[in-house]
Chain A
């Protein structure tokens, strides 16, 4: 089984992955209060470079998804079909996840999801599953 493609985190993003290792989902929050994802140096609204990693709820809904039958990477060769979803968190930002196999047939836009943590070697992936 081929491992998932995992580039090394960079100084700006490492806090996200460190938190995931601790079973926490964090998102960049600007001093102006806005959340932003994916990580950037400055807030595009107020231009502040001061921010913190804020722990978020881990709850959201399916904004959109696709069920992939033809794997585009060997890591998913024995997992197809699998669902990739774009999740909108309660805090307003979006994240991408693959859903667990039991959710492939049931995924629909608008359904509620919750975070779970999946250890993949040295990295822990925050992923989402349907709330049942």
Chain B
């Protein structure tokens, strides 16, 4: 029996995205969760599943105690770093489809500026990083910027990809953010020259190749498609979802070909097999991008272009809001905020509901593909379709 379109995102909610907050990460998650439940027309009494975000250091007991959840039957956490959100969504769907749970809360996000700030070594550390801690960090290969920079450097070497092509991604995301009042970089235009003049962080990544360190959280409420429709929130059907764990999961440097996010190729194939659609059906692609290069890697991995063709593709304007395949119409982690990828999924729902600012509404948006990457090239892919 097909699993496609059995579940929907019935509720979405988010806090403000800021650089600086007095709230704890848990407070942000609780605020977003209540907003998502209110959006769905539900209350904590309806929730029987809660999937805490491991990358945010959260656990089910906190939600049970603070939201008064009295009937929780399902509460696993995914451990896929930045790919955890869509992995949790897959778990939520499986629980709803099998009757283990009927209303699943999925919160995510962190204090990436004020608390769990990765560039200062304060990110939440999971066991998967033990190998890197012993064999790479003693050599100064400390964090995600350097891991992804080395992948990007090899991509440039193999395919002739350029820093200017990375710049087109940053500029496109910034232009979209300037149409989005909740984006952190709203009101701060950026040109290609600005990108090229920004200071080098770790080559080839300049400052404007890096996603924002920001504070904020979001939450999703997953129910059956039928229940979502009865709530008047059936617009975001989960048509397909796929997860794939990397074959060499504990370091980017050990990938047979570091320019290819193999797990994302497989996750996309799984998601499209479930949805019965292809990447060509996507009206917009939402890529949770730690760095500009990752947009190129993701477009290549999910089959929008062949390996090596991503650079020219983005430079030709294809991913702009007025191009044939808009990417990150909200501005993405590069310019809206880094909220562990949940802001990308929320944007997908809003695009399908037609509730974004008209200037950045993707025309006739009926199919949204969302992409997560986490840890050392773990991949998860989601296909949303417009429902009633």
Residues of chain A having any CB pair with chain B under 8 Å: 4-7, 9-10, 13, 37-38, 63-73, 75-76, 79, 81-82, 84, 86, 94-98, 109, 120, 123, 125, 127
Q: Which of A66, A82, A95, A125 contacts B153 (CB 8 A)?
A: A66
B150 at the interface (CB under 8 A from A): yes
Are B139 and A96 touching (Cβ within 8 A)? yes
Which chain A positions have C-beta within 8 A of B201? 68-70
Give Cα A98–Cα B204 distance, bound, in whole angstroms. 17
Give Cα A52–Cα B157 distance, bound, in whole angstroms. 35
Which chain B positions have C-beta within 8 A of A6? 138
* Closest partner residue, chain A, to B254 (CB atom): A94
Which chain B positions have C-beta within 8 A of A125? 138-139
Are A5 and B133 touching (Cβ within 8 A)? yes
Are B150 and A84 touching (Cβ within 8 A)? yes
Are A73 and B253 touching (Cβ within 8 A)? no
Are B154 and A63 touching (Cβ within 8 A)? yes
B258 at the interface (CB under 8 A from A): yes
Interface residues in B132-161 by Cβ distance below 8 A to A read 133-143, 145-146, 149-151, 153-154, 157
Answer whether A66 and B146 are a contact pair too, CB < 8 Å, given A4-B138, A72-B121, A73-B121. Answer: yes
Which chain B positions have C-beta within 8 A of A63? 154, 253, 258
Which chain A positions have C-beta within 8 A of B120? 72
Residues of chain B having any CB pair with chain A under 8 Å: 119-121, 130-131, 133-143, 145-146, 149-151, 153-154, 157, 199-205, 250-251, 253-254, 258
Q: List, sorted by A's number, 12 A–B pairs whose CB atoms are closer than 8 Å.
A: A7-B130, A38-B254, A66-B153, A66-B202, A70-B119, A70-B201, A71-B140, A72-B143, A79-B140, A84-B140, A84-B202, A96-B136
Are B253 and A69 touching (Cβ within 8 A)? no
Which chain A positions have C-beta within 8 A of B131? 38
Give Cα A64–Cα B201 distance, bound, in whole angstroms. 17
Give Cα A75–Cα B121 distance, bound, in whole angstroms. 12
Are B142 and A97 touching (Cβ within 8 A)? no
Assuming A64-B157, A66-B150, A82-B140, what are 8 further A-B pairs, CB within 8 angstroms?
A: A13-B134, A63-B258, A64-B151, A67-B202, A69-B202, A84-B139, A84-B140, A86-B253
Answer whether A69 and B200 are a contact pair too, CB < 8 Å, given A38-B135, A95-B135, A109-B157. Answer: yes
Are B202 and A73 touching (Cβ within 8 A)? no
* Closest partner residue, chain B, to A85 (CB atom): B150
* Closest partner residue, chain A, to B157 (CB atom): A109
Answer whether A127 and B202 are a contact pair too, CB < 8 Å, given A64-B153, A64-B157. Answer: no
Which chain B positions have C-beta within 8 A of A75? 140
Are B139 and A127 touching (Cβ within 8 A)? yes
Give Cα A5–Cα B140 distance, bound, in whole angstroms. 8
In the assembled complex, the CB of B136 is this many whole angstroms from the nearest CB of chain A, namely 4
Answer whether A65 and B140 are a contact pair too, CB < 8 Å, given A38-B135, A38-B251, A72-B145. Answer: no
Answer whether A123 and B203 are a contact pair too, CB < 8 Å, given A38-B131, A38-B254, A65-B150. Answer: no
Answer whether A64 and B139 are a contact pair too, CB < 8 Å, given A7-B133, A69-B202. Answer: no
Which chain B positions have C-beta within 8 A of A72? 119-121, 140, 142-143, 145-146
Give Cα A123–Cα B157 distance, bound, in whole angstroms. 34
